[in-house]
Structure 1
Amino acid sequence: EEHETAADMIDFHHGHVDLASFPVSLWKKTIAKTFDESGHGLFQSGPPAGDLPLRKMIAVYLRESRGVVCSPEQIIIGAGTPVLLQLLCHLFPKGTTVGFENPGFHRSKTVLKTGGFNVVPIAVDESGISVQDLEQYQPQLAYTTPSHQFPLGMIMPIGRRLQLLDWAASTGAYIIEDDYDGEFRYAGQPIPSLQGLDRNHRVIYLGTFSKSLIPSLRISYMVLPSPLVKEGLNMASLFKQTVSRHVQHAMALFMKNGDYQRHLNRMRTLCRKKRKTLLDAIKHEFGAHAVVRGENAGLHIILEVKSAPSEEWLTQKALEKGVKVYPASVSYVTPPETHAVLLGFGGLSEKSIADGIKKLKTAWFNGGQSRE
């Protein structure tokens, strides 16, 4: 048969979320309520750093769920992490060096580069970003994803976190902690955020509602350490505010009512089931032929297929069977010879996940050539 139609495509994209489980009618009601409660007040521009009710709710939520210690005044709301990173670029002189995880999240890396930072790749080992390399290159900033390294998926252990914080304190550097899917963790004790462990005001914390709600809301937030707050607020007033006040107020209400926490609990249960479906299917279909990495947190895994000629072959063969998987190599500065692909499972139903893995087996092992 020819390529499947786009509609039948099973897409393991790491950025997708389960739209079927978004509480649409509840969200509609919440938006309507913000109009009733706030009236015309909402029609004026709000505070550049974001409306206070939302910043208050985020501060409480972060303290309870991620161990982040901050006041609402330290929080800046923005329409997605790239916007906040762009704002951050203006707080440092052009040419400031940032040590960036290699492999790491390429969009963030590109934003920092175009923002005028000098981006230096820092190796990642099984505990996360290498503090030894940071000591060698001495950047003024380090960008890291400790809750679930992107893309390799390891969780940074407490020892490495303390080491990293010591490095920042002793050199006066800042750490950008991108907690892009920190809500989702499946094994072991939750480890407090770097921000929560830090006693020296060296951590810039980034979070988002894109994974836990829906990506199109465009609400992310940045918690600035006290030395950067004043300058950060100045910069925010230049951008005015990138998130609609209506959406901000609705989100604040959604959190205040406990609707967000309920939704998050549902999503966690759902994602835990999906993860189990995925891991069981991989074990069943591939046995010893494939290795899974980064499965203890987040909404994606890395699947390594030992016998595969190349990553490109894996993605191409999968596509021919109507499955989209993603190359791991785009996250590297110089791609290694990998035989690994990225599988996001947040946006697929359990049935699609199981079907997708079956199709991958056909694509990769049944001669790969067989026409159905």
Structure 2
Amino acid sequence: MSTNHQPAYVALYELLREEIRSGARPCGSRLPSRRTLSRDRGISPVTVDHSYEMLCEEGYAEARPRSGYYVIYRESDLFSRPESLPAPRVPAPVPVVSRESFSFPSLARVMRRVLSEYGDAILVKPPNAGCPELREAVSRYLARSRGIRAGANQILIGSGAEYLYGLVVEMLGRERIYGIESPSYEKIEQVYRAKGVRCDLLRLGRDGILSSDLEATVASVLHITPYRSYPSGVTASASKRREYLAWGTRPDRWLVEDDYESEFSLLRKSEDTLFASAKKENVIYLNTFSRTVSPSFRTGYMVLPAGLLPLFEKRIGFYSCSVPAFEQYVLAELIDSGEFERHINRIRRSDRKAGSGRITGSSPSSDTAGTDPEFR
């Protein structure tokens, strides 16, 4: 079933996803059993397991004990579905070095190469938005892995998520109300309040912000973590992501997509981001390297829609880049050499072998939900 060098489990996932999206498999319908589907398609039951895990992770289906897999995605009834709150989750403890971090020998090898090739350039103050080498590398990486088509001029490098949250306020303004998930990574609210803005806490259900809270909020900026929000471990379903985009279609509304840890999705290529799916240019995309490379790499990036660039230049374009050039060159080399993506793929393969625990939103490195925010 593999096509164009695509693994069989990914091809089956995409086939079932399109059948669900088109309505051929409506909400509430039961998916074929793994044995039936493997026999009919001539593939192994393990392949079916991986495909179903991906459908569950992306919010298209759910596993029901001793019953099977059922479609939960729906196109209609936005803001009107009955929802429930998620069960409390226990945050994962903070390890000294994450299992997902690069090994020291690998990083040391790249650092030596950068020192040799860049020489005195590592002592030069980087441009305000970041070194072109890293911004261009991130642009290419996002196009390959996250479906984001953004030029290097749309990418801003900054020292971690907290710094970038502050820049969002400086750019969009303090007079706005910012809607954030409740519960959420505590520093999101702390940074916003420290910047002098009002926050509206929106309750999380089992697949994202409750529709009733989303419809009622007076916020004009919505900050969301669609994938495994900390500390709840909640992943926004495909239906909920559409709901977020629908919320953003009203005038003067902005979405801040905090895509932290999405690289560790079971999918070989993760579900398209809100940034890539939005018809309006009103989604700001954020991510960092502190989880995927090392907690000591306090480097993040923000992707702006092209239409926001003039406002960015006017309000915060004068800020100096807060990340040393050496660190940026190392990250650019990791991405362009392919080592970054090979590292991500190794972690994904390890997680797939670990079984179906990820279906319920558990951490790839523990049985507890969400990844400790210290990695941001």
Normalization by structure 2: what TM-score? 0.68
For residues 122-271 of structure 1, the aligned pairs below 5 Å read 122-186=202-266, 190-271=270-351
How big is the shift at 1:70?
1.4
Which residue does 2:197 correspond to in 1? 117
The answer to whether the Cα contact below 8 Å between 2:102 and 2:293 also exists between their aligned partners in 1 is yes
The answer to whether the Cα contact below 8 Å between 2:171 and 2:316 also exists between their aligned partners in 1 is no
How big is the shift at 1:235?
5.0
Distance 1:154 1:298, change over 3 A: farther
Query: The residue matched to 2:234 in structure 1 has which SS?
Result: coil
How big is the shift at 1:232?
2.5
Residues 1:97 and 2:177 are matched in the alignment: yes
Distance 1:301 1:120, change over 3 A: farther
How big is the shift at 1:171?
3.4
Distance in 1, Cα, partners of 2:95 & 2:278: 29
The answer to whether the Cα contact below 8 Å between 1:91 and 1:232 also exists between their aligned partners in 2 is yes
- Cα RMSD for the two superposed structures: 3.0
How big is the shift at 1:37?
2.2
1:54 to 122, 134, 147: 134
Q: Is the deviation greater in 200-209 or in 229-238?
A: 229-238
How big is the shift at 1:41?
2.9
* Structure number having the greater helix percentage: 1
Distance in 2, Cα, partners of 1:13 & 1:136: 35
Distance in 2, Cα, partners of 1:301 & 1:92: 38
2:205 aligned partner, one-letter code: D
The answer to whether the Cα contact below 8 Å between 2:158 and 2:164 also exists between their aligned partners in 1 is yes
Distance in 2, Cα, partners of 1:137 & 1:227: 25
Distance 1:16 1:145, change over 3 A: farther
Unaligned runs of 5+ residues in structure 1 are: 1-10, 281-291, 304-341, 348-372
The answer to whether the Cα contact below 8 Å between 1:89 and 1:116 also exists between their aligned partners in 2 is no
The answer to whether the Cα contact below 8 Å between 1:100 and 1:143 also exists between their aligned partners in 2 is yes
How big is the shift at 1:106?
0.7
How big is the shift at 1:194?
0.8
Distance in 1, Cα, partners of 2:368 & 2:103: 30
Aligned-residue identity in percent: 26
How big is the shift at 1:187?
7.2
Per-residue CA distance 1:289-336 (angstroms, 9 max, x = gap) = xxx9522x6556547xxxxxxxxxxxxxxxxxxxxxxxxxxxxxxxxx
Distance in 2, Cα, partners of 1:194 & 1:16: 32
Distance in 2, Cα, partners of 1:88 & 1:125: 26
The answer to whether the Cα contact below 8 Å between 2:100 and 2:293 also exists between their aligned partners in 1 is no
Distance in 1, Cα, partners of 2:227 & 2:145: 13
Normalization by structure 1: what TM-score? 0.69
Distance in 2, Cα, partners of 1:301 & 1:156: 20
Q: How many residues get paired?
A: 284
How big is the shift at 1:156?
1.4
